[in-house]
Chains A and B, each alone.
Chain A
């Protein structure tokens, strides 16, 4: 055992990262600059441009209709958002919200097609299952290192690290949802002469919708959980306030910012869950 020298895995990974950075530097720069600017415009010019009272009102009205005309979610959303504003964390909230939305969108756009591919092809499923396991179990902090190497610091590496960490549930649930569609319904579809695409869009995806939405809900929650971690590499938002509290040993500051994250998490979770209804269900 002792005769085998230490395998320089760490060195290999570092080299690979460096090589990637050099090779795709132009692409990373483009993403860092243009995409980064776009995120900032959305967060600072658009979202923060909306008066706070109007923003809260809009969320309140949406909550009312999304929850099926009940007042619980509406009241919680309005009071929760007002509280965050009251604690002077509105800008941080908007930054966090933007980061979560962008990360989740990218996860969904990449994750659903990948999930569909896995459901259609057993080999692809076999290859990607361990990759997804890896992505989800690797400590999230580790993703910060290449993120910084590629995109230096700021919102963009934050989104990058969140995407890697948060994509797996969408992929898995899409795959699962499609595979769970009953054999008889697939036969029924085939017996009427559907093409692969028709079967996918008319039968499999609508039938899998509920499962896929559950996956998206998980993805959004995971993206939100990356907020604090991503703030360590300069992603703006509520996470930064938590880190500040940690560094200065201010329990109160950290707690209030943490509470803000919890409120945001609950609102997003309930919204995505309430949107998850299947047609024809009793």
Chain B
């Protein structure tokens, strides 16, 4: 069961929310509703599930409703309609006591401007959630210190937030959220206030932490690169609506509509796409079955100057060139083993495109994509250039 299930969640700001909800159900746009009722649509019937241990990114420009959406999930903002299920319990219908309990036990939030209490030390800030729960002093100190250690702030526990840099302050924010050991981490533009280098460092650290923690993370951002970097799945929002949900690759490769397409236009694809996305089905000959003559015939037919040689289980043996093959054919050699070349440029299916550039530049033949010794596909220079230009690429590799 998903940890978070959001169904038809809407938020309308202003009076007459009922009337506006009706228009919303009729499928009217944010502008139309604003004009007719004077109400602002914050979130428009959003539905999605977040699985356990997943980093789910909600991405949108300012005003798209993403910050409202995250606040509907822990009910810092009251939903107008719809439901938010955490472990199957509907938060939207809870009384305030149960809501408090859920906030204390299951949800922790990290804020854009850190949300640290300036009158409390780093340790006291980190202890806050535990203190609120009434956990005794020595235990909460222990947990808070562990949590600070985790984010690399063990030496700063008696400082005040005002004495720390932005990056360090957000580490405190993260430590405070983790100290509660929540199931779900809500991160509202958590790294947006940091400068680019620190932001990247924090992203890496979050991913590192996630390796061991396996929390369910709902991450809000307006930065597409950030979304693509850390998200297992991404939901794209516009005008309060979720436009598309998918893995980073799905969003890049199959934009749901023009808006998403325009959005992802400027993305540095080389950071996101991998060898699998741009490889082609390889033409091969079987070292056990084919001799030089059939290889030559095959190459002539496909217009190739080299061809990869595998066995029947697709294990890669090497490649042969057209010159060698025709020479061997003339001399009536029976198999390919004698002319096999093994200086094959190899990469894995998960190799990011960025790293393929150098390899492909120096390679005399198409680069082989290998998975456990088996040939999965080949990459030719043209495919790399086409992918960078945003042309069609394969989403799930090729069927072999």
CA of A195 to CA of B161, assembled, Å: 24
Contact of A184 with B by CB under 8 A: yes
The answer to the question of B132 belonging to the interface, with a C-beta cut-off of 8 Å to chain A, is yes
B13 is an interface residue with CB less than 8 A from chain A? no
B132 interface neighbour in A193, A209, A278, A280, Cβ under 8 Å: A193
Q: Hey, which chain B residues are within 8 Å of A209, CB to CB?
A: 119
Tell me if B314 is interfacial: C-beta within 8 Å of chain A: no
- Other-chain residue from A184, A193, A195 in contact with B115 (beta carbon distance below 8 A): A184
Q: Is A188 a contact of B160 with CB atoms below 8 Å?
A: no
Known: A187-B111, A198-B132, A282-B162. A192 touches B117 (CB 8 A): no
A206 at the interface (CB under 8 A from B): yes
In the complex the two chains form, what is the Cα distance from A282 to B161 in whole Å? 10
Interface membership of A190, Cβ < 8 A: yes
The CA of A282 and the CA of B109, in the complex, are separated in Å by 27
A191 touches B117 (CB 8 A): no
Selected contact of A188 from candidates B99, B107, B111, B180, CB within 8 Å: B111
Contacting residues of chain A (133-178) with chain B, CB-CB under 8 angstroms: none
Contacts of A110 in B (CB 8 A): none
Q: Which residues of A contact B102 (CB under 8 A)?
A: 193
Q: By the criterion CB–CB under 8 Å, are B74 and A195 in contact?
A: no
- Inter-chain CB contacts under 8 Å: number: 74
Is residue B47 within 8 Å, beta carbon to beta carbon, of the partner chain? no
Contacts of A192 in B (CB 8 A): 103-104, 108, 128-129, 132, 180
A interface footprint on B88-105 (CB within 8 Å = 1, 0 otherwise): 000000000001111110
Chain A binding surface, main DSSP class = helix
Partner of B74, one of A185, A191, A280: A191
| Residues of chain A contacted by B186 (CB below 8 angstroms) | 191
Near B by CB (< 8 A), chain A positions 18-40 give none
User: Min CB distance, B193 to chain A, in Å?
Assistant: 11
Q: How far is the CB of B381 from chain A (nearest CB, A)?
A: 51
**Cβ 8 A contact of A193, one of B112, B116, B133:** B133
Complex CA–CA separation, A278 to B101 (angstroms): 31
User: Can you name 18 A-B pairs with beta carbons within 8 Å?
Assistant: A184-B112, A191-B109, A192-B129, A193-B99, A193-B100, A193-B102, A193-B133, A194-B100, A206-B119, A207-B118, A207-B119, A278-B119, A279-B120, A280-B119, A280-B120, A280-B161, A280-B162, A282-B162
Binding site for B on A (CB under 8 A): 184-185, 187-188, 190-195, 198, 202-203, 206-207, 209, 278-282
Chain B residues close to A by CB (< 8 Å): 71, 74, 76, 99-104, 107-109, 111-113, 115-121, 128-129, 131-133, 160-163, 180, 186
* CB-CB nearest 7 A-B residue pairs: A188-B115, A193-B103, A280-B160, A193-B104, A191-B109, A193-B100, A192-B129
